[in-house]
């Protein structure tokens, strides 16, 4: 329940503090006095958009604080706990706006966002505005109103999520399959390239060995001749070295010739080893023209393939791995397509089941809401009208976040008339009363602790206005009711009466609010009935109206 609101430097309000109690509080005043500013101020605390022009002229900052009694509001306390806010019996919502238009929001003294204030505000206050009858021209509003009366509001969220899933999977599938035909061509070409490379590709080590073998084969005769010639030359010089070594033996005892002798002996050993190696190498030289042709052709194929794929020959194996990876990716895409098709089928079935449950719930709720609104219209002097809620199955089979049916409020203004859309047949006054009937019915089903009606009685008067006041008063059985009104018949029903007045001087205009006692209420009701020139009869009628209401 709203218990207090303090406003400072907002619009025409310099500073204002208002206490609220249970029951029905009515707020009245001259046109332009600022009655709705009080509701606007509360809206700012509840997360409404803040603008610089709301700050009072000459002030640096507007500051609004609203206090709520939440001692018995378990759902609100749970929300505070889940969002890490201090939990106290009294909840404080504060909003500041500077003259540049920047604002700050606070919950129980902690800095937060306007979005968070809006979230908690949905638990605290339900505001019915003076222009809501205009929104009845929009059929989306009809669906919103009906869904607000469902026994299980989660059904709407379930359908919305199921439809989103179908759309998400379908979009993913469309993206993947957009180039599916070209993918098949790519896969065929990749398979061809992989098969072609697989037949010829070798590792870098194998390539080096093949190149060495080609070099040996291509130089076979020249190499064999060189090896043989080198071996013969070594043999020819060996005999001379042996003779020289024999001659030097004479000086070994005196060690005079030991140095040269050892060098010659070492040279002989090395020459013998060289001859042995030359003989072994000669046996490795293969004079095989057929093998030379085969190895040369193999290398030519490798070099051609390297040029074709624009890589170095030693990198052909890496190229083969890249091609295989690309093919695997395309094959994985095929598997993903199959998975997405399965998900789409499953999500469509899920949507169909949830949408069907929502359709059944809407049909039940529509029947009950239709009867309740029809009853209210009878009390609002529209008993000759016939109100219907039409649920028409959509022609498209595409899952919709709004469900399977289009919802439209229909009315026949004559007993035997055919119901038609509100925009086609209802007058402005009729729309106002239909809107009011809907608001009263939906408010009766509301669990919000504070209901606010901001001049919802526009377009009605007389006995109908008295009925409106009585219906609003009945809502106090389970909620606190705040009502901004210009009708005496409605204002007389309030348990508390607040009057907004505006005072001006040469420098400044200021708005004030006063709680009225019985005599002051009679005066205000008289003004609302008869205007400035009040007669004794007007005041007597006002007193009688107030007495009958209580």
The answer on 185 and 55 residing in a single domain is no
- Residue 511, beta-bridge partner list: 502
Please indicate, yes or no, if residue 172 is contained in any of the structural domains.
no
User: Would you state the pLDDT for residue 419?
Assistant: 87
Query: What pLDDT shows up at residue 86?
Result: 92
In 380-461, which ranges are continuous DSSP H helix? 422-425, 428-444
pLDDT at position 47: 92
Shared-domain flag, residues 465 and 536: no
Q: Which two tokens stand for residue 153?
A: 């509001």
- CB distance 290 to 225 below 8 Å: no
Which pLDDT does position 405 carry in this prediction?
94
Range of the domain at 546: 518-550
Smallest CA-to-CA distance from 183 within 320, 326, 338 is with 326
Closest CA to 527 of 517, 538, 514, 519: 538
CA atoms of 161 and 351, how far apart (whole Å) = 9
**DSSP letter assigned to residue 22:** S
- pLDDT value at position 284? 67
246 three-class SS: helix
421 domain residue, yes or no? no
In angstroms, the CA 462 to CA 467 distance is 9
Q: What pLDDT score was predicted for residue 327?
A: 77
Q: Is 403 part of a structural domain of the chain?
A: no
Domain limit, last residue, from 331, 356, 389: 331
Instruction: Name the domain count of the chain.
Output: 3
Taking the model in full, what pTM does it have?
Answer: 0.60
* Contact present, 27 and 498 (Cβ < 8 Å): yes
Residue at 139 is within a domain: no
Positive or negative, the Cα torsion across 285, 286, 287, 293? negative
Last residue of a domain, one of 296, 331, 366: 331
d(CA 490, CA 456): 11
Sorted by sequence, the CB contacts under 8 Å of residue 87 that are 6+ apart come out as: 77, 80, 81, 108
State the Cα–Cα distance between residues 529 and 462, nearest whole angstrom: 11
Are 511 and 531 members of one domain? no
Give every CB contact of residue 168 below 8 A, 6+ residues apart in sequence: none
User: Is 166 part of any domain?
Assistant: no
Alpha helical stretches, state H, 380-427? 422-425
Residue 24: strand pairing partners: 481
Reading the block at residue 403, the tokens are 């469900």
* Residue of 311, 114, 308, 102 whose CA lies nearest to 204: 311
Q: Are residues 4 and 50 in the same domain?
A: yes
Task: Give the pLDDT of residue 62.
Answer: 95
Q: Does residue 417 fall inside a structural domain?
A: no
DSSP 50-100: P-GGGBPTT-SEEEEEEEEE-TT-HHHHHHHHHTT----SEEEEEEEEETT
166: part of which helix (H) or strand (E)?
A: helix 154-177
DSSP string computed for 490-529:
HHTT-SEEEEEEEEE-SS-EEEEEEE--HHHHHHHHHHHH
- 202 plus 268 within the same structural domain: yes
Q: Is residue 475 part of a domain?
A: yes
Angstrom CA distances, 465 to 258, 456, 500, stand at 142, 11, 21
Residues 208 and 308 in one domain: yes
Q: Are residues 126 and 202 in the same domain?
A: no
Minimal CA–CA distance to 95: which of 126, 61, 56, 127? Answer: 61
Please indicate, yes or no, if residue 341 is contained in any of the structural domains.
no
CATH of the domain at 471: 3.40.50.300
Shared domain check, 481 and 533? no
Shared domain for 104 and 220, answered yes or no, is no
Q: What is the pLDDT along the chain (550 residues), one digit of tens a residue?
A: 999 999 999 988 888 899 999 999 999 988 777 777 888 899 999 999 999 999 998 899 999 999 999 998 888 999 999 999 999 999 999 999 999 999 999 999 999 999 999 999 988 988 877 655 566 677 888 898 899 889 898 999 999 999 999 999 998 888 777 655 556 778 778 888 888 888 788 788 888 888 877 776 666 666 666 767 777 777 777 877 777 777 777 767 667 778 888 888 888 888 888 878 777 776 666 666 677 778 788 888 888 888 888 888 888 888 888 888 887 777 777 777 888 899 999 999 999 999 999 999 999 999 999 999 898 888 877 878 888 999 999 988 889 999 999 999 988 877 777 888 877 765 666 676 777 777 778 777 667 788 888 877 777 778 888 888 888 898 888 889 999 998 999 999 999 999 998 877 766 777 888 999 999 999 999 999 887 778 889 999 999 999 998 8
263 and 234 in a single domain? The answer is: yes
415's tokens: 């007993």
Edge-to-edge order in the sheet of strand 509-515: 125-128, 450-454, 480-484, 24-29, 496-504, 509-515
pLDDT at 89: 93
User: Same domain for 82 and 185?
Assistant: no
- pLDDT of 182 reads 59
Bridge partners, 497 (sequence order): 26
Distance CA 173, CA 2 (A): 52
Task: Count Cβ neighbours within 10 Å for each residue of 414-442 and write b for 16 or more, e otherwise.
Answer: eeeeebebbeebbeeebbbbbbbbbbbbb
Same domain, 21 and 93: yes
């Amino acid at each position: 329940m709203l218990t207090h609101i303090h406003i400072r430097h907002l619009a025409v309000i310099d500073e204002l503090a208002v206490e609220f109690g249970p029951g029905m509080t009515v707020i009245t005043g001259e046109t332009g006095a600022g009655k709705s500013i009080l509701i606007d101020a509360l809206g700012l605390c509840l997360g409404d958009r803040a603008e610089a022009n709301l700050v009072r002229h000459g002030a640096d900052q507007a500051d609004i604080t609203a206090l709520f009694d939440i001692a018995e509001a378990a759902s609100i306390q749970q929300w505070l706990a889940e969002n890490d806010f201090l939990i106290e019996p009294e909840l404080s919502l504060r909003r500041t706006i500077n003259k540049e238009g920047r604002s700050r929001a606070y919950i129980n003294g902690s800095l937060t966002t306007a979005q968070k204030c809006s979230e908690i505000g949905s638990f605290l206050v339900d505001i019915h505005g003076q222009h809501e009858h205009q929104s009845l021209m929009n059929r989306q509003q009809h669906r919103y109103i009906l869904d607000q009366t469902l026994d299980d509001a989660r059904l709407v969220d379930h359908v919305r999520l199921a439809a989103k899933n179908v759309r998400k999977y379908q979009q993913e599938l469309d993206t993947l399959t957009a180039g599916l035909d070209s993918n098949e061509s790519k896969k065929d070409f990749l398979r061809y390239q992989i098969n072609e490379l697989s037949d010829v590709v070798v590792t870098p080590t194998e390539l080096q060995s093949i190149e060495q073998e080609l070099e040996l084969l291509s130089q076979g005769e020249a190499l064999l001749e060189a090896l043989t010639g080198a071996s013969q030359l070594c043999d020819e010089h060996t005999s001379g070295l042996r003779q020289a070594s024999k001659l030097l033996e004479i000086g070994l005892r005196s060690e005079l010739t030991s140095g040269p002798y050892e060098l010659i002996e070492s040279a002989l050993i090395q020459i013998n080893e060289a001859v042995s190696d030359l003989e072994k190498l000669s046996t490795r030289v293969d004079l095989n023209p057929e093998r030379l042709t085969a190895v040369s052709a193999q290398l030519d194929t490798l070099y051609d393939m390297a040029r074709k794929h624009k890589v170095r020959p030693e990198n052909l194996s890496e190229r083969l791995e890249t091609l295989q990876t690309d093919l695997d990716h395309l094959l994985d895409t095929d598997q993903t397509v199959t998975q997405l098709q399965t998900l789409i089928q499953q999500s469509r079935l899920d949507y169909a089941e949830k949408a069907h449950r929502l359709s059944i719930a809407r049909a039940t709720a529509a029947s009950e809401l239709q009867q309740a609104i029809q009853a209210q219209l009878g009390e609002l002097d529209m008993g000759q009208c016939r109100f219907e809620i039409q649920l028409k199955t959509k022609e498209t089979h595409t899952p919709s976040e709004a469900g399977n049916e289009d919802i439209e409020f229909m009315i026949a203004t004559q007993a035997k008339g055919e119901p038609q859309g509100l925009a086609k047949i209802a007058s402005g006054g009729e729309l106002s009363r239909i809107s009011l009937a809907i608001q009263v019915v939906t408010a009766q089903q509301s669990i919000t602790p504070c209901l606010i009606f901001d001049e919802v009685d526009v377009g009605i008067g007389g006995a109908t206005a008295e009925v409106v006041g009585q219906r609003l008063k009945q809502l106090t059985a389970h909620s606190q009711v705040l009502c901004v009104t210009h009708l005496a018949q409605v204002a007389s029903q309030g348990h508390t009466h607040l009057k907004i007045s505006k005072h001006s001087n040469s420098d400044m205009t200021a708005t004030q609010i006063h709680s009225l006692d019985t005599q002051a209420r009679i005066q205000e009701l008289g003004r609302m009935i008869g205007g400035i020139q009040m007669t004794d009869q007007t005041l007597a009628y006002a007193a009688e109206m107030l007495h009958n209401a209580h």
